[in-house]
Each structure stands twice: as structure tokens, then as C-alpha cells.
Amino acid sequence: MKTHRILTSLLAVGALALGPALSGSQAQEAAPPPQPPGELQPPPPPPPPGGPRGERPPAPPRDDRGPRAGDPGPPPPPEGLPRPVDARSASIAVKTVTDATPSFASGQVWVKTAPLGEQQIEASLLFQGKEIARLAFNPADGTILPKGMPPAQPLPPPAGAPPAPPDANTPAPPQPGAPNPTNPPIPPPVPSAAVTPEQVKARLADMVKALRPAGGAEAMPREGFWRVPLVYQGAIVADVQVTGDGARILPDLGAARDAAIFAR
């Protein structure tokens, strides 16, 4: 009986001791009380960068196999910018001009005045109805001028011929030792072309048939095209512009503009 009383007393003391502990653990497991309205809750902490341990994500695998069939490739350049020139397509550009040479046709012939007052006779070269190049002619005899040659003046008289009489408008040359005049002499008028555009146009078709492309092409990377020279009797007389891939002949906008302005 006495032992039973002792056990009952120990159980009662243990229950009193465990009561506050159980109450604290239950309070911790319970949800926090809601925030009163109108107060902002603190944001949750950000996740660690790169992964759960703060490590960087692995880099994507590299594909060093190069372009494959079906890939779209790089996007084309915007309009208005020159397209790239393929250095391996020079022979293609020459072949494109060679194949098109039998279809070349004569265009308009016009006369214009150069900055120094001399007359220039030019003509356009056509392919599929569009101007693709221009030809320059000697105003004295109507022959084709090599590219880069300035327009020639009328031919001098043959050897042994008497000198031409002086023009009334041409001032006499100053004598040696004579004082220089205050006003400079008026330069003589520039003689006009001895060949008319009609005469050049009558022979232009035969000259066009004799044109041949040179055996090479010049790359123009800034402009975005190839330039294939045309040869007439051993001299380069014009250039034909071809796309950077060598597949298509481009029009000559300058020749088209001059033909529209100066041609009759």
C-alpha cells in the first residue's frame, strides 16, 4: 500500500514537469498568427544562384561539326547594305558575263560636255533591255576609247599639210619680252566633236559584237559586287558589274541616268 502511494506521487510529479514542455512544442508547431491588415509581409529570401548549392549551371554542349544540310544559315544583310562577295566565285562571274555576251545590244548615244569644256561621246550597253555599262568614243574619229582615257581633241593635221589659218577670235600669242597684259587672254573656243552621235550609233552594233570579257574579275567588297572588264581590240573599254556570288549581272545606274538625261 505504501509502495502504491509512492508510485502515484512520482507519476503526478512527472506530469507536472512535462506539462510546460509539451505546451511549448505545440506552440512552435502551430502556424504563426496572421498579420494584421495593412502591414506588409517581408519578402521570402532569394534562392541561391546557379543551383541549390550556389554552383554555376553547366555550359551547353558545343557543336563543332559546322553547318549541316537544312540549316537556315546566317540572316541576309539588311536592304541598302552591300552583300558579301564570295572570293571563290570569280570564275562564276566571268562565266556569267561570257554566257551573256552574245545577248549584248547597243543602247543610246549621247554627247555631253566635260568639266574642261571638251565634248564627250558615250553610249550605253544593254542586256535584257537594261543598261549594264557605258562606252566612251573619241570625238575626232568615233573610235572606242580605252577605259580611263580622257576624251581626245580632234586629230592634228597630217605631216606636211599647211597650218590652219588662225581664228579671228584667237588672240595673238605674246611676243618674247613683251609685258604681260593686265587681263588674261580669252582662251580659244573648244572645237566641237567632229563625229556626230548618229555616226557612232551606225557602227555601235558591230562594235558591241566584238566585245569580249577579260579572263578575270575584280572584287569590289565595299560595293558588294564583282567587276568583269570588257575588252575591245586588246583594250579594256568597259566594266560589267556582277553580284557577289557571280550569278547575276547588275544594271549600271549611272549609265541609265546619263542615257535618260543626255540621249536624244
pLDDT of 140 higher than 80: yes
pLDDT of 70 higher than 50: yes
- Rounded to 10 degrees, the C-alpha dihedral 256/259/261/262 comes to 160
pLDDT of 52 higher than 80: no
Tell me 126's DSSP state.
E
Domain range summary for the chain, segments of one domain joined by +: 87-152+191-262
pLDDT tens digit sequence for 115-133: 777 788 999 999 999 999 9
Q: CA-CA distance, 145 to 135, in Å (whole number)? A: 8
Q: CA-CA distance, 3 to 11, in Å (whole number)? A: 13
The pTM for the full model equals: 0.56
pLDDT tens digit sequence for 187-224: 444 445 678 899 999 999 999 999 999 999 999 999 99
Q: CA-CA distance, 246 to 86, in Å (whole number)? A: 8
